[in-house]
Amino acid sequence: MSDAAEQYILGIDIGASRTSFGLVSLEGKIFHPEIITSKVEGKLLADRVLEVAAGILDRAKAEGKKVLGIGIGCPGIVNSAEGMVVAAGNLPELFGARLRDIFAQKFRLPVFLENDVNADAVGEMVFGVARGQKNFVVFSLGTDLGGGIVADGRLHRGANFIAAEFGHLTLDLSGRQCVCGGYGCAREYVSGAGLADRGREELPIGSLALQMVGGDREKLTSKEIFAAWQKGDPDATRLVDEFGKRFGALVANVMKVLDPELVVLAGGVCRAVPELVNLVVRWTRHYYFPIPKLPEFCLSRFTKEDAVLGPAAVFMIEHKIHQPK
């Protein structure tokens, strides 16, 4: 019989731009990491994911590694009870895909499918900065803004698997329509793409962030805006202050509903600009109750490759391989 150290979960994190793979040990070590581009002309993402997964599982077999199952994280609304992607705004080809059954039939392994940021939250609880925490929230800030809630030590999915859609909380009553059908959603302001849009609309000609992309507004991303902000540029500072205010108001709203002990800031934008933590704390304090003690705020330590830890951790919890303490 193999001992726990030789058992692994294949973790797959499907993203709008990149999809990550890795064989995750029960202690959270990642082997055979691979990252592919999610969108390739003329090829179906699900087929390519199956192909890469097959390659990693073959290597595991050759090395005598026992794979207990597959955990998959996917953006959008994911019905984890049925293992189906209900809707995925950024990856329409996955609408209605019964990924759990497709993978289970192909590889003859148990599979668990979960929303990507929900999976991140479980990953933080099992392997990350939220170890031992029972009430916390995750804000995942990248191109888009996602959320995850752990309440009383359990992932909170809601009645229709749409809990923790922090990016679609209304922040502006007269805001524009969002892809979700609502208006003035947080992600229009508090996300990498949202900040870049604001920059395109509001930065005056010749301002530092625009100079960094040769004056071409279409090429502007949040990266240049944050870089100009870090250099003290007044136009970028105005934009980032507004971004911080809205982010703080959003976090304060979520805290008033859930009263967490920890707020985890994750995702590519937070990784690239760790100073955001202070900005968010400052504005959260402004919009929150005037009590002396805020919950702890901390930056996720996960890298892009670590994205596979969440789906693997969800599998471990759901199959009772890992019991939360």
Beta carbon of residue 172, minimum distance to Zn ion (angstroms, whole number): 11
Q: Please report the beta strands in 224-305, taking only residues with DSSP state E, as ranges in sequence order.
A: 262-266, 296-299
Amino acid at position 286, single letter: H
Beta carbon of residue 182, minimum distance to Zn ion (angstroms, whole number): 4
Give me the numbers of helices (H) and strands (E) for the chain, helices first please: 10, 12
Structure token digits, residue 271: 């990784």
Cβ contacts of 115 within 8 Å, gap of 6 or more: 73, 74, 75, 76, 77, 78, 80, 146, 148, 157, 161
SS3 247: helix
Q: Which is nearer to Zn ion, 49 or 178 (CB)?
A: 178
Query: Which residues contact Zn ion by CB under 5 A?
Result: 168, 178, 180, 182, 185
Beta carbon of residue 193, minimum distance to Zn ion (angstroms, whole number): 12
The dihedral sign for the CA sequence 177, 179, 182, 186: negative
Give me the phi and psi of 79, to 5 degrees please: -85, 100
Q: In which residue are the tokens 């309440």 written?
A: 151
Beta carbon of residue 306, minimum distance to Zn ion (angstroms, whole number): 27
Beta carbon of residue 164, minimum distance to Zn ion (angstroms, whole number): 13
Beta carbon of residue 70, minimum distance to Zn ion (angstroms, whole number): 30
Q: How far apart are the first and last CA of the chain?
A: 26
Q: How far apart are CA 323 and CA 114, in angstroms?
A: 18
Q: Residue 153's CB: how many other CB atoms inside 10 A? A: 15
Integer-rounded Cα radius of gyration of the chain: 20
Q: Which is nearer to Zn ion, 21 or 189 (CB)?
A: 189
Beta carbon of residue 298, minimum distance to Zn ion (angstroms, whole number): 27
Beta carbon of residue 187, minimum distance to Zn ion (angstroms, whole number): 6
Report the half-sphere exposure of 161 (CA within 13 A, side-chain side): 21
Asked whether 55 and 71 are in contact (CB, 8 A), the reply is no
47, burial (CB in 10 Å: exposed 0-12, middle 13-18, buried 19+): exposed
Dihedral-angle region of residue 53 (phi above 0 means left; psi in -120 to 50 means alpha; beta otherwise): alpha
